[in-house]
A and B are shown apart, each in its own frame.
Chain A
Amino acid sequence: DQQVKQNSPSLSVQEGRISILNCDYTNSMFDYFLWYKKYPAEGPTFLISISSIKDKNEDGRFTVFLNKSAKHLSLHIVPSQPGDSAVYFCAASGSNDYKLSFGAGTTVTVRA
């Protein structure tokens, strides 16, 4: 039973343009959401997070949007750079919960 879904396995975008990654979740108890980035042969690294009391969080080129009614969040990367080419995982958890549920990941390729 997959509670976090990333329906796009891959995304190709031109350098300088915007990358938009989408994530849907089914568990209404989730109230904390994170994005992780993973390069080949490395572990995932934390990128940005958002709690359910917000609908937007911005950190430099990265912005995460949360639509609680639709159980949907997205990650915007603008402008996209070649170093952004990686696998991006969406994750979610509930309050006081040590368990993160992950999506299957979206592979982003930024073309020069």
Chain B
Amino acid sequence: ETGVTQTPRHLVMGMTNKKSLKCEQHLGHNAMYWYKQSAKKPLELMFVYNFKEQTENNSVPSRFSPECPNSSHLFLHLHTLQPEDSALYLCASSQDNTGELFFGEGSRLTVL
């Protein structure tokens, strides 16, 4: 138990569906992140939120839309995804810029 909870753990969706991934951290951290992990590739940073403000959008396609309503919750809204978007999506949090990220268990996404 890392203090970062992601739901759902598994998601299968069609290319025309709209779905959302949810992340909640119980650590009192002030920064939250979305990472994408594809097979045999490095973790790719997608978005960073610091004190609820988005500080990084790493050239992510607009079919991925993040939302951070408060410092404990982070969402990733998905719409009209492509099969190549199938991956493990990891949420993480940290306190300030310590670099020590606490990851959730990930949401395994399959796009048909």
Is B99 touching A43 in the complex (CB atoms < 8 A)? Answer: no
Q: Return chain A residues, CB-CB under 8 Å to B33.
A: 98
Known contacts A43-B90, A45-B2; is-contact A97 B41 (Cβ 8 Å): no
A4 — nearest CB in chain B belongs to which residue?
B42
**CB-based nearest B residue for A97:** B97
Whether B71 is near chain A, meaning CB under 8 Å from some CB there, is no
**B104 contacts A98, CB within 8 Å?**
no
Q: How far is the CA of A98 from the CA of B86 in the complex (A)?
A: 25
Chain B residue numbers with a CB within 8 Å of A45 are 2, 103
Q: How far is the CB of B49 from chain A (nearest CB, A)?
A: 9
Contact of A13 with B by CB under 8 A: no
A96 to B94, CA, bound (A): 13
Interface contact B103-A99, CB-CB below 8 Å: no
B101 within 8 A of A: yes
Q: What per-residue 1/0 map shows which CB atoms of B6-46 lie under 8 Å from chain A? A: 10000000000000000000000001010100001111010
Q: Are A49 and B99 within 8 A (Cβ)?
A: yes
Q: By the criterion CB–CB under 8 Å, are A43 and B42 in contact?
A: no
Contact A96 B97 (CB under 8 A): yes
Q: Could you tell me which residues of chain B, from 81 to 112, have a CB within 8 Å of some CB in chain A?
A: 90, 92, 94, 97, 99-106
Given contacts A41-B105, A99-B48, 12 further A-B contacts (CB under 8 A): A43-B90, A43-B104, A43-B105, A43-B106, A44-B90, A44-B103, A46-B102, A96-B97, A98-B50, A98-B56, A100-B99, A103-B42
Point out residues on A near B: beta carbons under 8 Å. 2, 4, 9, 32, 34, 36, 41-46, 49, 89, 91, 93, 95-105
* 25 examples of A-B residue contacts, CB within 8 angstroms: A2-B42, A9-B40, A32-B99, A34-B100, A43-B4, A43-B90, A43-B104, A44-B43, A44-B90, A44-B101, A45-B2, A45-B103, A89-B42, A91-B99, A93-B97, A95-B97, A96-B97, A97-B97, A98-B33, A98-B56, A98-B94, A99-B45, A101-B45, A102-B35, A102-B43
* Chain B residues with a Cβ under 8 A of chain A: 2, 4, 6, 31, 33, 35, 40-43, 45, 48, 50, 55-56, 90, 92, 94, 97, 99-106
